[in-house]
Structure 1
Amino acid sequence: MASVKAKFRPSSIDGKEGSIYYQVIHNRVVRHIRTDYRIFESEWNGKLSMIDIPTMLPAERKHHLRLIVQQVNRDVGRLESVIKELSCKDSCSTDAIISRFREISELQSFYSFMESVIAQLRRLNRERTSETYSAALSSFMRFRRNKDVQLDDMDADLMMEYEAWLKMKSVSLNTISFYMRILRAAYNRAVEKGLTVQKHPFKHVYTGMDKTPKRAIHFKDIKHIKELNLSGKPHWELARDMFLFSFYTRGMSFIDMAYLKKSDLKNGILSYRRHKTGQQLHIKWESCMEAIVAQYAAGCSEDYLLPILKLPSNNLRSQYKSTMFRINKYLKEIARLCGITTPLTMYVSRHSWASIAKSKNIPISVISEGMGHDSEETTRIYLASLDGSVIDKANSIILKDL
């Protein structure tokens, strides 16, 4: 019968931490498995082959050692399970035990599992989603100081510590929710695959939607931007025209604008499918849209309607992102010229179209359909930050009747 035991190897340098390793023996064949767990010789009980936590240690060191104890116990338990599994199959050997242990450990590493999900998203050409998963994983890894965590160790306490760390870094509630919801989705995938047991680690952290500052601007601001004289500033003019084109097309998102093909415009109707939801939308072609397209026709590629994706490239996504970055930079300068205090980006045009449509008493159902939202609830989120002056005006009307 095979056996496994945790062992300690002191450092060859005085005063330095030594390392813990696992000794696996089967049929007198001995193999060792290295670990990254480091402790001092005074913290190891050689007779009992276990970590000893001296009472005089600082609380932070005690906490660190308790975490290592949990990890060592988990690893030894996993090795013992592997031994039972292979013994039942009559294929037990020290090399087989170590190979199977490493295979399971790799599968149950949260970082490795997240990386596998991100790789799958990329294979499915879901670049935007893969980028959001990468952003969430990077944030979580910074919190963990790049120290991996097993799926079995993902619990409510860990996620509350992560939330507290994010708040300490002055991360907004919506960004915290963004990271938590992505990590939760990945964790739930692992549960579905049977890699861990559901412990509901996200039940005590924020995963809602906090009310965001108003992103929409007034109709008079849109007119000011349109009438702005930007002659001699072609980069600024392009930024302004892309902003207006988005507004003209019911707040079309920049990624959808980037991928518009000339073939999408037929018989006075612009038809496109939203990248985010896959919903098919149809927009009546207006003269203001035509004016912008005609102005940049010479600078467009053979296929695309707008001058956003111009260079032949295997990575259109990176080209789209760099163009959006430049346009948003110039939009902020345009806002300064117009005296607009709202941080101006391409996304503001979408919020503005929805807000202005509502101010003209267009039903939410119509606004929702026009923007290609999956539900009216999404549209209501856009409209939740109603201009304070409108609310004040409504209040004045009510008070006049008193």
Structure 2
Amino acid sequence: MTTSISVICYKYKTLSNGENPLMVRISQNGKRKLVSLGISVNHKFWNFEKQKPKPNCPNKEQIEILITNKLNEFNNQIIEFKSENKDFTAKTLIEKVSKPVKRMNVNDLFLQEIAQLKKEERIRYAECHDYVYKSLLKFNKHLDIYFSDIDVQWLKKYEAWLRSQGNSENTIGFKFRTLRAMYNIAIKEGYVKAEFYPFKEYKVSKLHEDTPKRAIVKDNVKKIVSTSANNAYKELAIDLFTFSYFTGGINFTDMARIKHDNIIDGRLAYKRKKTKKLIQLPLQPKAMGIINKYKSPSNPYIFPILSTFHKTEQQKINRIHKVIGKVNKHLKALGVELDLDKKLTTYVARHSFSTTLKRSGVSTSLICEALGHSSEKITQIYLDSFENDQIDEAMSNLL
């Protein structure tokens, strides 16, 4: 397939100013297509034999520069198509050249994404993006740069700076994963060409540090579950830990948001706030007992964390943040009281759930040992992809 590009003076059309338009002519497989160059000249100043302006043509040098630049655009795009082994037509070639990469700098795209996340009430994600945005701003002094400016060397400098600021390995990894996600958005929206993508060479996966195992053995779970509380908050902390352990390691945010409507035919069915994945679990007697304990006709939520007072997403987030701090404070004290070798938090229940099932011989593919560690997607999939009786049987091993 041969393609030739040239600029001609289209003498068959005369504009209102008496001049003829200059056109880019694309010849491919015996077919021709014309697209306007955006300027015109009087035909008496055009050399039709050589298809270029005559020496006496007004603005001759500027016209020649414009012609050269436009021919280069088309020829460079042809080279790009060929380097990627992509077939193209005259029409697709014109479309590609006529619709260049849109310009949006890093600063504006970050602010746009943060605003969109807030609009979707994904407040925690918005806060995370804002956290990374401020880090980048502090490092680079300004973000009036384009994504094509972020190359491998720039990323290495940012990594070195983060280390100099005392950031942990996992914190650095989080910031780079967020930046990589923003770069992918920029590519998708046409703000930067994929060929500039620096993360093929710069591997974010290296920025990971294994954290200490948070799971506790089944005997210690029994100690927690059977502990008597001497105050209401300690009792709530124990009940929330127990409920999480018996309901697939449900995290605190989702636990706070579940309502009585989520209890269907003796099962808990809810969508995770973080991933929107639907999870359905059998309710063990211990979990059902806790539900009945906190049941209140005046509150649609199962636990006394949220109520009808909390209407906006920000109100809910603030309340959950406040309560989880108090709950974890009591769990930490309980861990010391029981002489446990782990710092006790609600998240320990999540890890203990998966580890206990694994040690009981339950298939790793069913429970996914990481359970939110290496891949949040796997955490959700393991409950979605198996039949209810498989899940029911597996969870019978919890105590």
TM range (shorter): 0.5 to 0.7
- Quick one: which amino acid aligns to residue 131 of structure 1? E
Q: Tell me the residue number matched to 1:201.
A: 198
SS in 2 for 1:111: helix
Q: Distance in 1 between matches of 2:151 and 2:193?
A: 11
TM-score computed with the length of structure 1 as normaliser: 0.61
Which of residues 369, 373, 378 is equivalent to 1:375? 378
Cα contact 1:239–1:328 (8 A) shared by 2: yes
Q: Which residue of 1 aligns with 2:178?
A: 182
Q: CA deviation at 1:123?
A: 1.8
Partner of 1:156: 152
Matches within 5 A, 1:2-401: 108-144=104-140, 146-151=141-146, 152-198=148-194, 199-202=196-199, 203-204=201-202, 206-208=204-206, 209-231=208-230, 233-298=231-296, 301-310=298-307, 311-314=309-312, 315=314, 316-368=316-368, 374-375=377-378
- The answer to whether the 8 A contact 1:264-1:270 is kept is yes
**Helix, strand or coil for the counterpart of 1:244?**
helix
Q: Measure the CA separation in 2 of the matches of 1:269 and 1:332.
A: 30
Work out the CA distance in 2 between the residues paired with 1:150 and 1:191. 15
Aligned pairs, number: 273
1:216, CA displacement in angstroms? 0.8
User: Which of these two proteins has the greater Rg computed from alpha carbons?
Assistant: 2
Classify the secondary structure of the residue corresponding to 1:270: strand
Aligned partner of residue 280 in structure 2, secondary structure: strand
- Provide the C-alpha distance between the structure 1 equivalents of 2:161 and 2:127, rounded to a whole number of angstroms: 22
Q: Give yes or no for contact 1:173–1:206 (8 Å, CA) kept in 2.
A: no
Give the SS at the match of 1:283.
strand
CA distance in 2, matches of 1:137, 1:348: 30
Contact 2:270–2:280 (CA<8 Å) still a contact in 1? Answer: yes
Contact 1:364 1:376 in 2 (8 A): no
Give yes or no for contact 1:309–1:320 (8 Å, CA) kept in 2. yes
Name the SS for the 1:375 alignment partner. helix
Contiguous gaps of at least 5 residues in structure 1: 1-83, 89-105, 380-402
* Structure 1 residues 378 and 341: CA distance shift in structure 2, 3 A: farther
Distance 1:329 1:261, change over 3 A: same
In structure 2, the partner of 1:78 is none
Q: 1:320–1:221: structure 2 CA closer, same or farther, 3 Å change rule?
A: same
| 1:360–1:141 Cα change, 3 Å | same
Instruction: Tell me the distance in 1 between the aligned counterparts of 2:284 and 2:362.
Output: 20
Contact 1:180-1:206 at 8 Å conserved across structures: yes
Q: AA paired with 2:332?
A: K
**Which stretches of structure 1, 4 residues or longer, exceed 4 Å deviation after superposition?**
376-379
Q: Within 2, Cα distance between the matches of 1:206 and 1:283?
A: 35
Matches of 2:227 and 2:214, distance apart in 1: 21
Partner deviation per Cα, 1:238-296 (whole Å, 9 max, x = no partner):
11211111001121122221111111113322221222333322222232112222332
Q: Give the SS at the match of 1:207.
A: helix
Q: 1:180: how far off?
A: 0.3
Distance 1:312 1:211 in 2: 37
* Structure 2 letter corresponding to 1:261: K
Deviations 1:116-164 (A, max 9, x none): 01111222232332222122222222323x4234014222222111111
**Cα displacement (A) at 1:318:** 2.3
What is the CA distance between 1:109 and its match in structure 2? 2.9
Q: Distance in 1 between matches of 2:329 and 2:261?
A: 30
Letter in 1 for 2:337: L
Equivalent-residue separation in structure 2 for 1:270 and 1:187 (angstroms) = 38
Distance 1:223 1:107 in 2: 59
Following the alignment from structure 1 to structure 2, what is the Cα–Cα distance between the partners of residues 377 and 237?
29
- After superposition, the Cα gap between the structure-2 partners of 1:107 and 1:323, relative to the gap in structure 1 and judged at 3 Å, is farther
Measured in 2, the distance between the counterparts of 1:378 and 1:213 equals 24
